[in-house]
Amino acid sequence: MNTSVEQLTGPVLVTGATGFLGCRLVRRLMAAGRPVRALVRREVPELTALGVELVRADLTETAAVRAACEGMETVFHTAAKVGVWGSAAEYRKVNVEGTLAVLNGCRDFLVRRLVYTSTPSVVFNGRDLSGSDETLPYGKDFPCHYPATKARAERMVREADDVPPGHLRTVALRPHLIWGPGDPHLVPRVLERARKGRLRIVGEGKNRVDLTYIDNAVDAHLLAETALDRPPGDDHPGGKAFFITNGEPVVLWEWINDLLPRAGLPPVTRRLTLKAARRIGAAAEAVWAVLRLRGEPPMTRFVAAELAKDHWFSITAAERCLGYRPRVTMAEGLKTLTAGWPDEM
């Protein structure tokens, strides 16, 4: 196991501690003996039992978010409003204004390090992203509010690096499609749609995609914290963003069709052109907006592009500046994830 977390010993705040990434991060920090405070919206007995100090507050409660930063040496800001549907105001309040509250708390209480969980979606441009690196500019004309607000928040975090009086050092990580045991989103959603017969291969079915195994994503966050503590230099990560993946892009639909039989489900064979998927997505978005339906539309223009286009990224910068090396391969992760399937499902 990567033990770089043990190089630092100070107290940390984790936002989004009930999420997939945040919870695993908290457990790793606690296992290393770090004092951990977690910003949560509800009581979490399992975290309390571990000795985690809980602060009950929503990211929109700016005074509480600011106060939670007091006495901390590092803040891991993993919380966000995710998804592809919802009001612009809700996304802005959580992802932009919530991040600003975290930044203000860090500045006011002289927090030394802020590790921000961003997303590769901030560079979404509707085209294939094949081996893209951090020189790629932020996207424009985002098709939904999630990447737009995450891009604004990431900019704020990067611009806050090394700003007096506290000399806060900041870094943004862009993990892509985190998965593994306990994943409440990616794999369960694929399996649910497959069971309902709603999966379709969009486009030619040859697009390559990066995923990130959960333990590798946690490693990256801990390594980023340690790297921020280094003296200034060309490879210091302060104010920078880094793509984080397994470094093993897969052909998306081949990977899904390898996954489904392990769950006792048939492979997906039905197809939909990208043009048709976009048309269906636009129509669904219009219906959901006019009728104010709850939940996400079954297809959106953003999802159509994500299912059909390449989106895999270079991790060379993370390797060089953070010392990041994915230690759990895609094959090992899949074996761990599906152990016991389909009996336990």
pLDDT number for residue 165: 67
Q: Please check the confidence at residue 221 and state whether its pLDDT lies above 90.
A: yes
Query: How far is residue 109's CA from residue 216's CA, in Å, rounded to a whole number?
Result: 30
pLDDT in tens, 69-88: 999 999 999 999 999 999 99
Strand partners, 165: none
pLDDT number for residue 2: 41
* Confidence grade of residue 234 (pLDDT, cut at 50, 70, 90): confident
Query: How far is residue 95's CA from residue 336's CA, in Å, rounded to a whole number?
Result: 32
* Confidence grade of residue 343 (pLDDT, cut at 50, 70, 90): low
Q: What letter does residue 47 receive in the DSSP assignment?
A: H
Buried b / exposed e along 124-150 (16+ C-beta atoms within 10 A): bbeeebeebebeeebbeebbbbbbbbb
Q: Please check the confidence at residue 68 and state whether its pLDDT lies above 90.
A: yes
Task: Give the distance, in angstroms, between the CA of residue 239 and the centroid of all CA atoms in the same chain.
Answer: 18
* Confidence grade of residue 233 (pLDDT, cut at 50, 70, 90): confident
pLDDT in tens, 239-255: 999 999 999 999 999 99
> Per-residue DSSP letters for 166-184?
TT-EEEEEEE-SEESTT-S
Task: Give the distance, in angstroms, between the CA of residue 104 and the centroid of all CA atoms in the same chain.
Answer: 22
Query: How far is residue 191's CA from residue 343's CA, in Å, rounded to a whole number?
Result: 15
* Confidence grade of residue 10 (pLDDT, cut at 50, 70, 90): very high
Query: How far is residue 153's CA from residue 193's CA, in Å, rounded to a whole number?
Result: 32
pLDDT number for residue 55: 96
**Could you give the 3-state DSSP secondary structure of residue 239?**
coil
Interval 173-179 mean pLDDT: 98
Interval 110-123 mean pLDDT: 97
Q: Which has more pLDDT, 148 or 233? A: 148
Location of structure tokens 């033990």: 3
Q: Are 209 and 312 in contact (CB under 8 A)?
A: yes
Residue 1 tokens, joined: 């196991």
Q: Please check the confidence at residue 122 and state whether its pLDDT lies above 50.
A: yes
Q: Please check the confidence at residue 186 and state whether its pLDDT lies above 60.
A: yes
Taken in order of first residue, the domains within the chain and their CATH numbers are: 4-178+211-247+312-328 (3.40.50.720)
Q: Are 104 and 66 in contact (CB under 8 A)?
A: yes
Catalytic residues: 146
Residue 153 tokens, joined: 């928040």
Q: Are 242 and 313 in contact (CB under 8 A)?
A: no
pLDDT number for residue 282: 95
* Confidence grade of residue 229 (pLDDT, cut at 50, 70, 90): very high
Phi, psi at 86, each rounded to 5°: 145, 175
Residue 75 tokens, joined: 């803040």
pLDDT in tens, 266-312: 999 999 999 999 999 999 999 999 998 988 999 999 999 999 999 99
In this prediction the pTM is: 0.95
Average of per-residue pLDDT values in the chain? 94
pLDDT number for residue 1: 37
